[in-house]
Amino acid sequence: MATQFKVSWSWYEKHVHPITSLCYEAFEPYLQFKDEPLTILDAGCGLGVGLPIIQKWFHSDSRLVGVDIDPKALAVAASLNLPNTSVVLGNLQQLEMPDSHFDRYISCSILSWVADPSRVIAEAFRVVKPGGVAGFCVFAPRERCQWMNMQSTFRERAIMEDQGLKSSNANAFQCSSEEILRSLTSQAGFEFVHCFEQQLVIRTPDYEAGTFENPSLSKFFENPRNVEIMNELFAELRQKSEPPSVGFIFITLKKPS
């Protein structure tokens, strides 16, 4: 199990961090504030890829907290040893943090995966100070997530003994529209500030060579037919538009003063 986890996160680091870094960077113009120290939460910080990025947007005396439900990911985030930064184990659906504590709440690629997005948003509202700002980013609608579609198509076509894996991206698009995000966040009490969508290009240099090293899928490459299916997918992709990309919707919000 531990090995599986380790391999899984190393895959994430190699193939997903180049994209999630861009997600964090896209938020900078909307969240940055250098005038005075702030208290900032990276909600669902994972391995901590966003922590050093976020830190650059704020006054150097700001306090940054990363929270995640996965202790092994947090251990990696903690090992970054960033100044004025702590990482805390926690569930975004039920945070053990006081009300009105953070000036900024930043969540990248979380609402696409959690069981109850409205609960996460309600907790975000609770822990943000009046006048504070929250930012969420989620996958754009399926048709603009070529990279995700590729994984889904692979799952559909591949010869899998464990059929459960075929639906493991099932919730990925549960918040994938401005309308849904605006509705969920206004129900929680947030004021809408801004929403935009960006198409992020996957630039992992050895992306093709490392095709889908995701351990949940890798064992299926033991079947040569699945390798052929993957090669066919890449060939299809080359005929369309390259390189693979994935769209994200970003929303920023304010807690009324």
Beta carbon nearer to ligand SAM, 51 or 230: 51
Contact flag: residue 171 with ligand SAM (CB under 6 A): no
Q: Which of 22, 38, 41, 44 binds ligand SAM (CB under 6 A)?
A: 44
User: Two tokens at 6?
Assistant: 């380790």
> Of the candidates 95, 97, 106, which has an alpha carbon nearest to the alpha carbon of residue 40?
106
Contact flag: residue 113 with ligand SAM (CB under 6 A): yes
Q: Can you point out the beta strands (E) in the chain? A: 39-43, 63-68, 85-89, 102-108, 128-139, 191-201, 245-254
Contact flag: residue 108 with ligand SAM (CB under 6 A): yes
CB count, 10 Å around CB of 94?
9
What is the maximum span of the chain, computed from C-alpha positions, in angstroms? 60
Contact flag: residue 70 with ligand SAM (CB under 6 A): yes
Contact flag: residue 66 with ligand SAM (CB under 6 A): no
Contact flag: residue 55 with ligand SAM (CB under 6 A): no
Contact flag: residue 138 with ligand SAM (CB under 6 A): no
- The conformation of residue 80, written as its DSSP 8-state character, comes to T
In whole angstroms, how close is the CB of 45 to ligand SAM at the nearest point? 6
231 backbone dihedrals φ, ψ, rounded to 5°: -65, -35
Q: Which of 10, 93, 118, 177 binds ligand SAM (CB under 6 A)?
A: 93
Contact between 98 and 71 (Cβ < 8 Å)? no
Residue 74 host element (H or E): helix 71-78
Contact flag: residue 92 with ligand SAM (CB under 6 A): yes
Which residues 6+ apart lie within 8 Å of 71 measured at CB? 89
Q: Which of 50, 132, 135, 247 binds ligand SAM (CB under 6 A)?
A: 50
Task: Tell me how far apart the alpha carbons of residues 92 and 211 are, in angstroms, rounded to a whole number.
Answer: 32
Contact flag: residue 91 with ligand SAM (CB under 6 A): yes
Beta carbon nearer to ligand SAM, 31 or 73: 73
| Residues lying near ligand SAM in the complex (CB under 6 A) | 20, 23, 44-46, 49-50, 68-70, 73, 91-93, 108-110, 113-114
